[in-house]
Structure 1
Amino acid sequence: MPQHDHGQPTRWWTLAILSLLMGFASISTDLYLPAMPAMGRSLGASPGVIEWTVSGYLIGFSLGQLFWGPFSDRYGRRLPVAIGLVLFAIGSAGCALSLTTTQIIVWRVVQALGASAGVVLSRAMVRDLYTGHRAAQMLSTLITVMAIAPLLGPLVGGQILVLTGWRAIFWTLVGVGFLTLLALTTLPETLPPARRSQDSLGRAMLRYGELFRHRRLLGYTGAGAFFYGGMFAYVAGTPFAYITYHHLSPQYYGLLFAVGIIGIMGANQINARLVKRFGSDRLLHFGAALAATAAILVAVAAATDTGGLLGLVLPLLAFIAATGFIVANTIVGAMADFPERAGAVSALVGASQYGCGIIGSGLVGAFADGTPWPMGWVIAAGGIASLLCAKLLVPVRPAIRPVAKPGR
């Protein structure tokens, strides 16, 4: 059975490492966002081509999760995370040494294959340790702590860019990978041998198809995936919408990006406080409605330039704040009915999210026209589709009350 409590020092150290692992999805991209225009100039590439470095990362990240999930269900969590961290460091070094955008895209795929192990398995570890509303609370807490990475990422990346150039950003990621590998040695294994899957890896991969028969699981997966399509349209599109189109400096871009992350952190804390009272499904519906409304306003602002930079920024901040009500609740909801396959379900949800992220960021690059409009309509499509999945496929079920502990 999942544990519900730990000694305080051990518990918070474990959460700190899990937050760091979950943050690899963000720092791998957010750190170099302010450098994207400079990378384009250095390598003689157009904005649309540079945006494909985000899409290349998402391809590796999606495919990697589908492998690491079943692998960890059979062999435990720590080994695949360690292998992934080594791959991440190798991919980051490859990016730093690249001479063309094609080389960067290839190494970004390798980097992402490694990073995906820590991200997908940190979620599975939470499911190993917690259940019900407590799992949603802990995921919200993890996401809040993890948000320090994208909060500081563009700010630090902007400073590294000014001081030493864009290649140093990727060397910094090499160091982060090896430091995390060192910290991993202190992390306990959360999936003991008695609870591991006996399926072969081939059989486990084939069983992904069985999961698609569950309507509610499809709803959780779709709500999160379409939202991520909009989120990565934001990640790929805002450097050019803010810096190139609205003439914001890279340093101020980092600051504006950080404001959005603070909104995500705040929403996650609100979600953690309210999930016990209202249940994760109801909060998911609220978040999806917020995202859809804000996304429509983003599209209007992008198409008409109403309000200039501020008119675009405000609905974007509301859209990304919805992350706090969508991400943790879709993950917990999806894994709730499959505790024995937490790794595989976490991988399926994550791969779907980042798969839609590939489409979202790719569409922004493919339709890049020098204006925020491609980003705007992709975000609107993602927000509306997320709301439809939540409303049509995830009927609200009551909040799960905690199990009373002996002696309390």
Structure 2
Amino acid sequence: MTSLALPAARHSPWLIANLIFQIAFGLLAMTVCLPSMQDWPETFGASQASVQLTLSAFIAAYGGMQLVWGPWSDRIGRKPLLLVGLTLACAGSLAAALAPSLGLLTVARMLQGAGCAAGMVIARAMVQDLFTGSERTRVMAFVGMTMGVCPPLATLVGGQVHVRLGWQANFVLMAALAAVLFVAAWRGLPAARAASPAPRGTRDLLAGFARLLREPVYLLYVAVLASTTATFYTFLGGAPIVLKGYGITPERIGWYIMCIPMAYIVGNLWTSRLVRRSSDRRIMALGQAWTLSGLALVLALGLWGTRDPLALALPLLLLGVGHGLLAPPTLSGTVGIVPALAGAAAAIGGLIQQLSGAVGSFVVGLVPHSGQVNLAVVMLAWALCGLCAQWLLHARRRA
């Protein structure tokens, strides 16, 4: 089967926006109800731990189903399965809005996450199908910008909807958005498929996974991506603890946590300009330099004894820019190694991202946090893992 990469003239802004919103929908659905979770223990007469399972169920389905949607899209086709996934996400959202108990809400969230996973993995694979070279990296930069702004924006919108209309309204909103995206995919996306024949049976499907896992360059790209995700989730897990020690109350914590996502968008914008005149290798090296500079400054200020929230937040603006530079070429690299397995590649990469993020947020809870030093050390350890993977990646590609 021949490549379906489109001529540049056909790369309309509407096509790019369509793909970006398909990818970002899962993050919106994941985070829009976070403000409501504070009230669910009282609403359902359940423990906070039980309420947390609603989020865990979503993440588990969201990560695990990427391993299903990706290979199936290589085998059957991108667009049909994307439409199935959006239908599933819409049904899960409506079921969540109507759930009379926390148990049924948890099941509905799992269904919602399973459907949302299709957009994340299939639309990323379609970027591989439809774009080439620097244009693909540029589109991934726009994807990164959108994904950077989605969590804080969804949380702010979700809180306002919850206060004014109730927690169920957020799920109705997600069902409506899924329906809009269904129409957008149906009418606006080409029937993109993999660039060559994909696996046809379960054995060949597993062989496809095995082939990717035997590709050192693919694994190193995924390792770089996983390290950035783990670094960010470590920050999300540890920053509230550190900021509480600095006297920051819960209603103010969000403003400090937004430092990395906002700077991440700046990094993505920079990448979209750099990609026209710089190689992916140089952009990734620049991203690592910004990332490590920010973490070194956080650590230095902590060791100096500075106990101020700005001593944590401001240096991490550098890290956010660095991650914004790193993510687009890394995402592009993960799906470009074996074009016929782009869906499977995106699926494995997405799953490892979720797992690395979970490990990062768990590990940071194992160390004490009287200041920002320990948080900086854990984040720096993850970043150095990414630096090592990136050095090996470029050394191998030079060979």
Q: Shorter chain as normaliser: what TM range?
A: 0.7 to 0.9
Deviation at residue 13 of structure 1 after TM alignment = 1.4
CA contact (8 A) 1:282 1:396 kept: no
Q: CA, structure 1 residues 177+219, in 2 after alignment: closer, same or farther (shift >3 Å)?
A: same
Q: Deviations over 1:99-135 (max 9, x none)?
A: 7766655443332221111011111111111122221
Task: Give the structure 2 partner of residue 356 of structure 1.
Answer: 356
The one-letter code of the counterpart of 2:315 is P
Task: Give the structure 2 partner of residue 5 of structure 1.
Answer: 7
Task: Give the structure 2 partner of residue 405 of structure 1.
Answer: none
CA contact (8 A) 2:195 2:339 kept: no
**Residue 34 of structure 2 is aligned to residue 65 of structure 1:** no
User: Structure 2: how far apart are the matches of 1:244 and 1:37?
Assistant: 22
Q: CA, structure 1 residues 164+68, in 2 after alignment: closer, same or farther (shift >3 Å)?
A: same
Q: 5+ unaligned residues in a row in structure 1: which ranges?
A: 399-408
Q: CA, structure 1 residues 303+207, in 2 after alignment: closer, same or farther (shift >3 Å)?
A: farther
TM-score using structure 1 length: 0.82
User: Structure 2: how far apart are the matches of 1:194 and 1:167?
Assistant: 42
Moved more, 229-238 or 81-90: 229-238
User: Structure 1: how far apart are the matches of 2:115 and 2:280?
Assistant: 30
CA contact (8 A) 1:85 1:178 kept: yes
Deviation at residue 220 of structure 1 after TM alignment = 0.5
User: Structure 2: how far apart are the matches of 1:53 and 1:289?
Assistant: 38
1:4-403, aligned counterparts within 5 Å? 4-5=6-7, 7=9, 11-39=12-40, 45-46=47-48, 53-96=54-97, 105-192=106-193, 195-236=196-237, 246-248=247-249, 250=251, 252-295=252-295, 306-363=306-363, 378-395=378-395
The one-letter code of the counterpart of 1:335 is V
Identity of aligned residues (%): 26
TM-score using structure 2 length: 0.83
Moved more, 64-73 or 254-263: 254-263
Q: CA, structure 1 residues 275+50, in 2 after alignment: closer, same or farther (shift >3 Å)?
A: farther
Q: CA, structure 1 residues 361+58, in 2 after alignment: closer, same or farther (shift >3 Å)?
A: farther
The one-letter code of the counterpart of 2:282 is R
User: Structure 2: how far apart are the matches of 1:90 and 1:63?
Assistant: 19
Moved more, 212-221 or 375-384: 375-384
The one-letter code of the counterpart of 2:125 is A
Q: CA, structure 1 residues 109+49, in 2 after alignment: closer, same or farther (shift >3 Å)?
A: same
Q: 5+ unaligned residues in a row in structure 2: which ranges?
A: none
User: What root-mean-square deviation, in Å, do the aligned CA atoms of Structure 1 and Structure 2 show?
Assistant: 3.6
CA contact (8 A) 1:294 1:319 kept: yes
User: Structure 1: how far apart are the matches of 2:364 and 2:97?
Assistant: 25
Q: Deviations over 1:314-333 (max 9, x none)?
A: 23433333331222111212
Task: Give the structure 2 partner of residue 403 of structure 1.
Answer: none
Deviation at residue 30 of structure 1 after TM alignment = 3.1
Moved more, 151-160 or 17-26: 151-160
Moved more, 272-281 or 126-135: 272-281
The one-letter code of the counterpart of 2:114 is L
User: Structure 2: how far apart are the matches of 1:343 and 1:173?
Assistant: 25
Q: CA, structure 1 residues 64+106, in 2 after alignment: closer, same or farther (shift >3 Å)?
A: same
User: Structure 1: how far apart are the matches of 2:378 and 2:84?
Assistant: 35
User: Structure 1: how far apart are the matches of 2:241 and 2:92?
Assistant: 25
The one-letter code of the counterpart of 1:386 is G
User: Structure 2: how far apart are the matches of 1:366 and 1:165?
Assistant: 36
Moved more, 144-153 or 270-279: 144-153
Q: CA, structure 1 residues 194+397, in 2 after alignment: closer, same or farther (shift >3 Å)?
A: closer
User: Structure 1: how far apart are the matches of 2:223 and 2:336?
Assistant: 16
Deviation at residue 71 of structure 1 after TM alignment = 0.5
The one-letter code of the counterpart of 2:266 is G
Q: CA, structure 1 residues 367+51, in 2 after alignment: closer, same or farther (shift >3 Å)?
A: farther
